[in-house]
Amino acid sequence: MSSHALTIRNASALSLALDRFERFEALSSTPTSSSYIRTWIPQLTNKSESTATPLSIHTPDQLNTASSTFHVEDVSLEIPPFRTVITTISTSTAQSPNTRAIVNPNLRLTFTIAGQRYRLDISSTEDRSSLLTPLSANSSIDITAIYLPTSSFLALLQFTALERWMSGLPDSLSLSLLSIPGTHNSPAHHRAMPSVRCQAVSVRKQLYNGIRFLDIRLQPASATNLEDESLYLVHGAFSVTLLGYYHFRGLMDRVYAFLDQTPSEAILISLKREGIGKASDDHLAHILKRHYIDKDPTKWFTESRIPKLGEVRGKLVLLRRFNYDHKFATEHAPNGWGIDATSWADNSPFSLNPTGQLCIQDFYEVLASVNIEEKIAYVERHLARAAAASSCKPESNSSCLYINFASASNFWKTECWPERIAAKLNPAILEYLCREHMNAIHSKSQAQDQSVSMGSTGLVVCDWLGNNGNWDLVKMILAMNEAQRTIHAGTAP
């Protein structure tokens, strides 16, 4: 029998104590849970078909009525805010005292959090987040648990309403200090070739589930007519759909509607010209300004600096990945127009743009599936850079925006299409953020420096977020803002 000790990370600003743990035999009866292991068979059009194998996952009521506790222990284990503790609780196989058989136990943990009691049931096979069950009357706090079965690691986060997560952050925070989830080729969620499709769900659903960085590639329908506002949504040389073209106007109507409904939020929007048309960057700049930004000026922040959150609530912050000519600059942008992201090193694991405002990891050419580990390493290193640069001290005011593309592909290798790479890359990033990023193992005998352990992630830009309703990576990225919130609000522990 192997032994793996449960490690618990308190990623919140709340006081937390583990009071009791119980171990149950894993049930062997037919499960009633809706959780599944899914196997995808990519089709030419990337319309996913799935087969499902039920997991042996059981509800708290099932544990109460259909299984027996074979170990109960009262403990008193304090887990301070933003700290991690390695417990003596084994999550590995154990010998049942009832049958003498080797079983994979389920665990039940009872916590006191901010004076209120909560319960969490952990399955040896479940790897999807869940809310702790409140045991106290009138519980006012929601706690999210993310459990990593392969490493016996549990992260506890204060629940954030994904559609309005910026509402609890102070206006004084620079966007460069935030942990912001984003999507790569955000509108590429339609039926398309598997090498073109990058996202599982619509931009609207992305926004309501916490995404605040949109990456959009555009091609003007006309290369000469400035009266034509039509901009096609593209990915490289291709439309984002096999069914003709979708237009930027329709997308922006949905984005504006989201901002109207959630005015506490700000969205960074990266715009770039791609496609096979003959239009120039300057032509795109004129169309965007005339037909979009000037028509809704209150919805856009187009200054060339990185703003504070309070300046841009309810707005789109322009990251400009296209050039414009001298005449445009003279007439419209003498002090710059948008955050300049034009000098972007191609396929680079680390680059700094000439203005020093953007620090970017955008290595994307994964030549074979064995090289995905290399990409994972680049993402992790850039997360560490972002944490160090945004160390959570009251005087922190990083002027550099860290952009970390956790996306990659290879057009010629089916195993390296975006969905397949994301299936390996996203879980690896989630595990890194839970276990390593901004994490300090608590020691009563040794003082811990909280500065790096309370830094941010910067912008983390991913493919296929929300696939099968799984937003755990977004939740973990957002949890990293809690330290920034408490420091700048003057309530840090």
Residue identified by tokens 């708290």 is: 60
3-state SS class at 14: coil
Element (H, E) at 331: helix 326-332
Mean pLDDT (whole number) for 412-419: 89
| pLDDT over 50 at 394, yes or no | no
pLDDT at 132: 96
How far apart are the C-alpha atoms of 60 and 67, rounded to whole Å? 10
Same domain, 239 and 102: no
pLDDT at 490: 66
Closest CA to 431 of 9, 4, 3: 9
- Residue 389's contacts (CB-CB under 8 Å, 6 or more residues apart) are 359, 398, 400, 402, 455
pLDDT at 449: 45
When the pLDDT of each residue in the chain is averaged and rounded to a whole number, the result is 86
Domain's final residue, options 110, 133, 158: 158
pLDDT at 222: 97
pLDDT at 43: 42
| pLDDT over 70 at 308, yes or no | yes
Number of domains in the chain: 2
Same domain, 153 and 166: no
Domain's final residue, options 128, 158, 188: 158
| pLDDT over 70 at 487, yes or no | yes
Which range is least confidently modeled, 56-70, 249-263, 373-387?
Answer: 56-70
pLDDT at 160: 84
Residue 46 vs residue 178, higher pLDDT: 178
Mean pLDDT (whole number) for 438-449: 48
141-161 residue pLDDT tens: 999 999 999 899 999 999 889
**Strands 5-10 and 16-24, sheet pairing:** unpaired
Helix, strand, coil distribution of the chain in percent, nearest 5 = 25, 30, 45
Same domain, 278 and 295: yes
Mean pLDDT (whole number) for 116-125: 89
Same domain, 231 and 99: no
Residue 355 vs residue 427, higher pLDDT: 427
**Tokens representing 421?**
């790479």
Contact, 163 vs 150, CB < 8 A?
no
| pLDDT over 60 at 62, yes or no | no
What is the CATH number for 397?
Answer: 3.20.20.190
- The 3-state secondary structure of the chain reads CCCCEEEEEECCCCCEEEEEEEEECCCCCCCCCCCEEEEEECCCCCCCEEEEEECCCCCHHHHHHHCCEEEEEEEEEEECCCEEEEEEEECCCEECCCCCCEECCEEEEEEEECCEEEEEEECCCCCCCEECEECCCCCCCCEEEEEEHHHCEEEEEECCCHHHHHHHCCCCCEHHHCEEEEECCCCCCCCCCCCCCCCCCCHHHHHHCCCCEEEEEEEECCCCCCCCCCEEEEECCEECCCCCCCEHHHHHHHHHHHHHHCCCCCEEEEEEECCCCCCCHHHHHHHHHHHHHCCCHHHEECCCCCCEHHHHCCCEEEEECCCCCHHHHHHHCCCCCCEECCCCCCCCCCEECCCCCEEEECCCECCCHHHHHHHHHHHHHHHHHHHHHCCCCCCCCCCCEEEEEECCECCCCHHHCHHHHHHHHHHHHHHHHHHCCCCCECCCCCCCCHHHHCCCCEEEEECCCCHHHCCHHHHHHHHCHHHHHHHHHCCCC
181-213 residue pLDDT tens: 999 999 999 999 999 999 999 999 999 999 999
pLDDT at 50: 36
* Percent of the chain whose pLDDT exceeds 90: 67
Q: Which of 1-5, 53-57, 284-288, 327-331 has the highest mean pLDDT?
A: 284-288
Same domain, 265 and 366: yes
Instruction: Write out the residue range of the structural domain in which residue 195 sits.
Output: 162-489
Same domain, 115 and 194: no
| pLDDT over 50 at 130, yes or no | yes
Residue 314 vs residue 63, higher pLDDT: 314
Same domain, 273 and 170: yes
359-378 residue pLDDT tens: 999 999 998 888 899 999 99
Same domain, 61 and 187: no
| pLDDT over 60 at 21, yes or no | yes
325-362 residue pLDDT tens: 888 888 777 778 999 999 888 999 999 999 899 999 99
**Tokens representing 349?**
């694991």
Mean pLDDT (whole number) for 6-31: 82
Same domain, 140 and 180: no
Residue 484 vs residue 98, higher pLDDT: 484
| pLDDT over 80 at 69, yes or no | no
pLDDT at 173: 94
Domain's final residue, options 129, 158, 187: 158
| pLDDT over 90 at 470, yes or no | yes
Residue identified by tokens 């957002």 is: 478
Contact, 377 vs 427, CB < 8 A?
no
Instruction: Work out the pLDDT band at 104, boundaries 50, 70, 90.
Output: low
Instruction: Work out the pLDDT band at 463, boundaries 50, 70, 90.
Output: very high
pLDDT at 68: 61
| pLDDT over 70 at 445, yes or no | no
Instruction: Work out the pLDDT band at 32, boundaries 50, 70, 90.
Output: very low
Same domain, 327 and 192: yes
pLDDT at 415: 87
**Tokens representing 41?**
């068979």
Same domain, 152 and 204: no
Same domain, 275 and 357: yes
pLDDT at 28: 46
